[in-house]
Amino acid sequence: MKKLVIRNIDQGALMKLNKILKNTFLVLFACLVLSACATSKKSTGQMQGDVYTGTDTVEYLASGVPDRVFFATNESVLTTASRETLRKQAAWLRKNSDITIVLEGHADERGTREYNLALGERRANAAKDYLMTYGISSNRISVLSYGKERPVDSGSNPLAWSKNRRSVTVKAN
Amino acid sequence: MKNLIILFLILIVPTNALGLIEVDITRGNLNPLPIAVSPLSIDDESKKSFEKTLKKKDIGSEISKVIEKNLKTSGLFNPLDKNAFLQAPDIAHLKPRFEDWNLIKAQALITGKVKNVDDKLRVEFRLWDVLAGKEMMALAFTTVPNNWRRVGHIITDKVYERLTGEKGYFDTRIIYVAEDGPKTKRIKKLAIMDQDGANNKFLTLGNELVLTPRFNPTSQMVTYLSYFRNLPRVYLLDIETGIQEVVGDFPGMTFAPRFSPDGKKIIMSFAKDGNSDIYTMDLENRIVEKITNHPSIDTSPSYSPDGKFICFNSDRSGYQQIYVMKSDGSNVKRISFGNGLYGTPVWSPRGDLIAFTKLHKGKFYIGVMRTDGSGERLLTENFYQEAPSWSPNGRVLIFYRETKTDDKGEGFSAKLWSIDLTGYNERLVGTPTDASDPSWSSLLSN
């Protein structure tokens, strides 16, 4: 849990603090900040509409290249943030032309299983189409829908659902 | 499977249907019929031999327990407490003293006799109308001893049919997905069990994700979705031999499979380039036909029992709704117009209704509507539930329900539930593990 939240903290600020307060109080202070962040973000900061905007659960394909994009309920439209993420992925893929990828499409638990399988496929393809417009050949991309079968967050709340509505780019080789 | 089906049915006494007691099936469980199920009598010699082979002390009484549980679960009957029975089982079977049964308010009485005949199990039973003082039916079966639970189910079916005027649904099985493990890494296996939860058996090991198993009309084959080698495809499984094969050669995910009512085709969705359409594949000549052709998601197809129509789920209006079309894909008509989203339409085996899942204002409902979309009735509301499947007589729906997790993401469970078409008699269907995606078989003995 802590690991997740730490990535939310401004790394620069943390370094500065570290220099100023090289004592045990820092630990206490950081803990307070962290818990404040965790509680406040649950209610507001991490969603726009119902699209997840947080970066804390993102694994990185490479430094500065997030692996996933998030969707609104029942939607497969890419948000501005998603397009930015995918452009970074495309740039990285252009530089690493031997890499092939699987786009894994997911839905939240608030839909029927079969429809969600189709929706996951549609979301992964939205990401695929965008990568292709940035010059990534379709034969480097395969698509796999998990529907609602593989959530990252097992919570039953709007924030958890927003994290689960996603397309994740996974290296295939 | 074959040796299970060999059951000999002998009619001892032809019964004529006079206006005796009747159970009104359309009214739910407000007034379940008081019925006495006398333990089936058994002679000492047979008792000993069956105790050896079946490891059951008194197989007669075990069979009557199966019947009792079935009757109670149906919600239409109220099996009375055996401790109140005055007459001994063997004598009651010959000639019930109706005053005694009347005294404990029984309106109907089931009696019977079990005997070992050449190492076969011979069971006869009689159904009596206590008020009229008359025998309503009498039947006998001979079968292999291992079939004793099925004998109980078949007797229940006969009693149910005699008293309600409709076929029963007790000698049936449920195929479903057994679930285990954390929500984020669920392990899923195909499992099969008797309708009452007995004889549970796992059919896959859980190495790959499996979803949505459905029986063919003879209940010997199952079609389902498997993620074998991370390629989600529709498969076909022969339950008896265990042989599995991929259905068709599609360059992408196939899902949401069901059999046609004649069992000759599989209808399913095929997803490509972000678009899911409905296809059929003929299992004999392998010919694939595209049934819908629309840039929206078309899925969850289900045939009408005469095979002439297909209901399905589409978001072509912008959101998930239920549509009906001819089986060649022509004449597509939207039938769901209520508030909310509609999914998983399933055509009733009686042909008159379509069961569905509905999502409205954050709640999930199981409901039914007529095939033109009129007469929508919601039977049950919950945090999450979906995927109804009909009992073969079209009177009961089985579906699965998931619980809400707490803030830590804990407390998740998935269970099977059943509910009558009347909206009464909601019941948890016991499974050894968590469970989802149930599919009800046809009547095994017909």
Asked if B409 lies within 8 A of A113 by C-beta distance, the reply is no
Domain that holds residue A150: 47-171
Mean pLDDT of B105-109: 97
Mean pLDDT of A153-165: 96
In a shared domain, residues A24 and A64: no
Q: Which residue has the higher pLDDT, B277 or A39?
A: B277
CA distance A69 to B111: 66
pLDDT of residue B19: 53
> Which of B274, B315, B357 lies closest to A121 in CB terms?
B274
In a shared domain, residues A23 and A39: yes
Q: What are the chain A neighbours of B387 within 8 Å (beta carbons)? A: 112-113
Q: Phi and psi dihedrals of B163, rounded to 5?
A: -90, -25
Residue of A nearest to B315 (CA): A115
pLDDT of residue A23: 44
- Kindly state which CATH superfamily the domain B173-228+307-440 is placed in: TolB, C-terminal domain (2.120.10.30)
Query: What was the ipTM of the complex prediction?
Result: 0.93
Residue of A nearest to B404 (CA): A156
Q: Which residue has the higher pLDDT, A39 or B380?
A: B380
Per the CB < 8 A criterion, the answer to whether B429 and B200 are in contact is no
pLDDT of residue B28: 57
Q: What are the chain A neighbours of B314 within 8 Å (beta carbons)? A: none
Mean pLDDT of B109-117: 97
Q: How many Cβ atoms are within 10 Å of B17's Cβ, its own excluded?
A: 10
- The answer to whether residue B429 scores a pLDDT higher than 70 is yes
In a shared domain, residues A74 and A29: no
Per the CB < 8 A criterion, the answer to whether B259 and B247 are in contact is no
What is the CATH number for A69?
3.30.1330.60
Stretch(es) of chain B classified as CATH 3.40.50.10070: 2-20+31-164
In a shared domain, residues A52 and A123: yes
Asked if A121 lies within 8 A of B256 by C-beta distance, the reply is no
Q: Find which of A1, A100, A112, A150 to mutate to test the B interface (most B CBs within 10 Å of its CB).
A: A112
- The answer to whether residue B223 scores a pLDDT higher than 50 is yes
Q: Is B328 helix (H, G, I), strand (E, B) or coil?
A: coil
Q: SS3 for B107-119, per residue?
A: CEEEEEEEEEECC
CA nearest to B106, candidates B90, B84, B88: B84
Per the CB < 8 A criterion, the answer to whether B445 and B150 are in contact is yes
CA distance B297 to B256: 12
* Alpha-carbon distances of B384 from A67, B179, B213, rounded to whole Å: 30, 16, 20
CA distance A113 to B17: 46
Task: Give per-residue pLDDT as tens, B51-78.
Answer: 999 999 999 999 999 999 999 999 999 9
Q: What value does the mean pLDDT of chain A take?
A: 81
In a shared domain, residues A51 and A128: yes
In a shared domain, residues A28 and A72: no
- The answer to whether residue A104 scores a pLDDT higher than 50 is yes
Stretch(es) of chain B classified as CATH 2.120.10.30: 173-228+307-440
Question: Chain B within 8 Å of A167 (Cβ-Cβ)?
Answer: no
CB < 8 Å from B in window 65-84 of A: 74, 76
In a shared domain, residues A156 and A110: yes
The two tokens of residue B299 are 């899925």
CA distance A71 to A94: 25
pLDDT of residue A54: 87
Asked if A121 lies within 8 A of B320 by C-beta distance, the reply is no
| Maximum alpha-carbon separation in chain B | 73
pLDDT of residue A170: 97
In a shared domain, residues A66 and A32: no
DSSP letter for each residue of B38-98: PPPEE-HHHHHHHHHHH--S-HHHHHHHHHHHHHHHHSSEEEPPGGG--S-HHHHHHS--H
> Residue B140, exposed/middle/buried by CB under 10 A (0-12, 13-18, 19+)?
middle
Q: Which of A43, A59, A74 corresponds to the end of one domain?
A: A43
Helix runs in A45-171, H state only? 80-95, 113-133, 158-164
In a shared domain, residues A57 and A113: yes
Place of tokens 């007995």: B198
Which numeric CATH code is attached to B2-20+31-164? 3.40.50.10070
Asked if A115 lies within 8 A of B407 by C-beta distance, the reply is no
CA distance A123 to B220: 36
In a shared domain, residues A35 and A51: no
The two tokens of residue B82 are 């055996």
Residue of B nearest to A142 (CA): B252
Q: What are the chain A neighbours of B250 within 8 Å (beta carbons)? A: none
Asked if B405 lies within 8 A of A121 by C-beta distance, the reply is no
Buried b (16+ CB within 10 A) or exposed e, A36-69: ebeeebeeeebbeebbbebebbbeebbeebbbbb
- The answer to whether residue A17 scores a pLDDT higher than 90 is no
pLDDT of residue A58: 83
Domain count, chain A: 2
* Chain A nearest CA to B213, separation (Å): 12
What letter does residue B155 receive in the DSSP assignment? Answer: H
CA nearest to A53, candidates A81, A86, A77, A88: A81
- The answer to whether residue A33 scores a pLDDT higher than 60 is no
Q: Can you give the length of chain B in residues?
A: 446
pLDDT of residue B31: 84
- The answer to whether residue B44 scores a pLDDT higher than 60 is yes
